[in-house]
């Protein structure tokens, strides 16, 4: 399967059978969804479903969180133009149905904030893994209750 047409979603094969989908730019701030990424999030599940080389797809956000919702330009456009609003509604519907109907296992690796289309995709995945970290310590929320225990990949 050729994923080269996806510009906003970074798609790569981690190893045979495992496909990674990354929202946003590595090392960047919180990933926000522009109009193109919104459309790509709706359609990528159809391609993954047809991909004979993929058994599992991992969805994650780059940067400081999983997803930050729609960028301001897209939000403004949605509020001004009914045709854009209708397109976004159709894409939102397609995102839900295409992900639910995808025959491949989808795992979301959620960290930090999750809003909008990214949140929808993350929660509808077959397996959703969410870790909340406290920036000052890098420990997950479970570690806050038991100081002697850490989780995730946090170091003591």
CATH architecture of 9-145: Alpha-Beta Complex (3.90)
Given pLDDT bands bounded at 50, 70 and 90, which one contains residue 132? low
Q: Report the alpha-carbon distance of residue 123 to residue 156 in Å, rounded.
A: 30
* Stronger pLDDT, 121 or 152, i.e. the higher one: 121
- pLDDT of 142 strictly over 80: no
Q: Could you tell me if 11 and 44 are in contact, meaning their C-beta atoms sit under 8 angstroms apart? A: yes
- Percent of the chain clearing pLDDT 70 (strictly above): 84
pLDDT, residue 140, reads 42
pTM: 0.81
Provide mean pLDDT across the span 6-29: 92
Higher per-residue pLDDT: 136 or 36: 36
* 145 pLDDT more than 90: no
For residue 155, name the pLDDT band (cuts at 50, 70, 90). Answer: very low
Assigned token pair, 62: 């780059």
| Radius of gyration for the alpha carbons in the chain, expressed in angstroms and rounded | 16
What confidence score (pLDDT) does residue 146 get? 38
Residue 52 contacts residue 105 (beta carbons within 8 Å): no
Report which of residues 9 and 141 the model is more confident about.
9
Is pLDDT of 83 > 90?
yes
When pLDDT is averaged across residues 114-143 and rounded to a whole number, the result is 75
Q: What is the pLDDT of residues 94-126, one digit of tens each?
A: 999 999 999 999 999 999 899 999 999 999 999
Is the pLDDT confidence value at 86 over 50? yes
Q: Look-up: residue for tokens 């959620």?
A: 110
Closest CA to 101 of 118, 124, 122: 124
**DSSP per-residue letters across the chain:** ---TT-SSEEEEEEETEEEEEEES-TT-SS--B-HHHHHHHHHHHHHHHH-TTEEEEEEEE-TTSSEE-B-HHHHHHHHH-HHHHHHHHHHHHHHHHHHHT-SSEEEEEEES-EEHHHHHHHHHSSEEEEE-B-TTT--BHHHHH-TT---TT---
42, 35 in Cβ contact below 8 A?
no
């Amino acid at each position: 399967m050729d994923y080269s047409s996806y510009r906003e979603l970074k798609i790569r094969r981690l190893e045979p059978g495992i496909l990674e989908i990354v929202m946003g730019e590595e090392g960047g701030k919180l990933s926000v969804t522009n109009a193109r990424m919104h459309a790509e999030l709706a359609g990528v599940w159809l391609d993954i479903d047809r991909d004979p080389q993929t058994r599992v797809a991992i969805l994650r956000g780059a940067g400081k969180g999983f997803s930050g919702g729609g960028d301001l330009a897209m939000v403004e456009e949605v509020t001004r133009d009914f045709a854009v609003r209708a397109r976004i509604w159709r894409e939102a519907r397609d995102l839900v149905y295409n992900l639910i109907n995808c025959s491949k296992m989808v795992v979301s690796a959620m960290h930090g904030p999750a809003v909008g289309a990214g949140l929808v995709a993350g929660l509808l995945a077959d397996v959703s893994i969410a870790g909340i970290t406290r920036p000052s310590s890098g420990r997950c929320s479970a570690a806050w209750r038991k100081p002697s225990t850490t989780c995730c990949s946090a170091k003591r």
